[in-house]
Every structure is written in structure tokens, then in C-alpha cells.
């Protein structure tokens, strides 16, 4: 079982909605949804019984919303909100664990990238829709303190 004990991985938790035992097939990169398609409010649609093993080390948000307003994209996971410029440039933010992070969003690939300054680690969230119309967020965490990248996904229903 993977244990998330370093501050970096816990800090990455603000955008983690995990379903490590229930991976979803994602669309090809050229089928990334547009911001207009992503915009909306979503409720967690994973299986809590399966996800319980990860719950002790990673918070699984019950809700996720993505809002496009002017030149900003807002991501809200439960009560934690982060805003990034729509143009893909990075913005400084604070994770729910108080770590300083740089955040950017790539519109072309529907990917949110977070870099935590203190640890040099990165977390990438790629958003896609599955065949059932659920939003799937695939998360990839890399850090020199990890033996290998950690990859998992979560499903959300609109």
C-alpha cells in the first residue's frame, strides 16, 4: 500500500480526488475537453468502499467545480479554491496545507500543473470525460522522494 507521509504529497492533496483502485480509461490527448465543456459543478462518483484505503493519507473531495470567469479559471475542491490565469501563465497560490505552490492550466490539454516550491515536486491533473459522461481527473505526482511517480484517478458526476 502506498503511504503519503512527506509534506509534498500531503500538500498536493488540495486537488486530489483519488480512486486508486478504480482507474478509468481517458480520452486521447487530442480529445481534451474545452474550458467551456469543463465548466460546471461535480460530485464525487467513486466507490468509497474501494477508496477507503487511500482516505487515511489523501483527502478525497466530495465536490469539484471549475469556473471560467473573464481571464481566470477557478478550481474549487470542497472548501479550497485556487485561481489560475486562462492564458496558461502560472500563479502563486497556497495549498490547503499551507505550502507555497505555482499553478498553471494548459487549455489545450485540459491539464492543471502544480509545482510546490519547498520540495520541488509536481502534480499534474488531466481532466477528461469518460463514456458515461463523468469527469475523470487523472492525477500524476512526481518527486525525487518517491520511488516512482504516483498515478491515480477519480470520477465526478455533474
Question: Would 2 be classed as within a structural domain?
Answer: no
Low-confidence residues of the chain, pLDDT below 70?
Answer: 1-30, 48-60, 117-118
Question: Would 120 be classed as within a structural domain?
Answer: yes
Question: Would 79 be classed as within a structural domain?
Answer: yes
Domain CATH code at residue 46: 2.40.128.20
Give the pLDDT confidence score for residue 85 in this predicted structure.
Answer: 94
Q: For the whole model, what pTM was predicted?
A: 0.71
Question: Would 17 be classed as within a structural domain?
Answer: yes
Cα 81 to Cα 26, 65, 85, 133, distances in angstroms: 25, 9, 14, 24
Domain that includes residue 108, residue range: 7-157
Domain count, the chain: 1
Question: Would 113 be classed as within a structural domain?
Answer: yes
Amino acid at each position: 500500500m502506498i503511504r503519503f507521509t512527506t509534506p509534498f504529497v500531503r500538500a498536493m492533496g488540495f486537488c486530489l480526488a483519488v480512486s486508486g483502485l478504480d482507474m478509468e480509461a481517458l480520452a486521447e490527448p487530442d480529445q481534451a475537453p474545452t474550458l467551456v465543456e469543463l465548466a460546471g459543478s461535480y460530485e464525487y462518483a467513486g466507490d468509497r468502499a474501494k477508496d477507503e484505503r487511500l482516505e487515511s493519507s489523501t483527502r478525497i473531495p466530495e465536490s469539484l467545480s471549475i469556473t471560467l470567469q473573464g481571464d481566470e479559471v477557478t478550481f474549487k475542491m470542497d472548501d479550497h479554491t485556487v485561481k489560475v490565469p486562462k492564458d496558461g501563465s502560472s500563479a502563486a497560490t497556497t495549498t490547503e496545507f499551507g505550502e507555497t505552490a505555482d499553478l498553471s492550466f494548459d487549455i489545450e490539454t485540459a491539464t492543471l500543473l502544480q509545482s510546490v516550491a519547498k520540495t520541488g515536486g509536481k502534480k499534474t491533473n488531466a481532466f477528461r470525460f469518460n463514456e458515461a459522461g463523468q469527469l475523470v481527473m487523472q492525477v500524476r505526482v512526481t518527486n525525487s522522494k518517491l520511488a516512482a511517480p504516483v498515478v491515480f484517478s477519480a470520477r465526478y458526476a455533474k
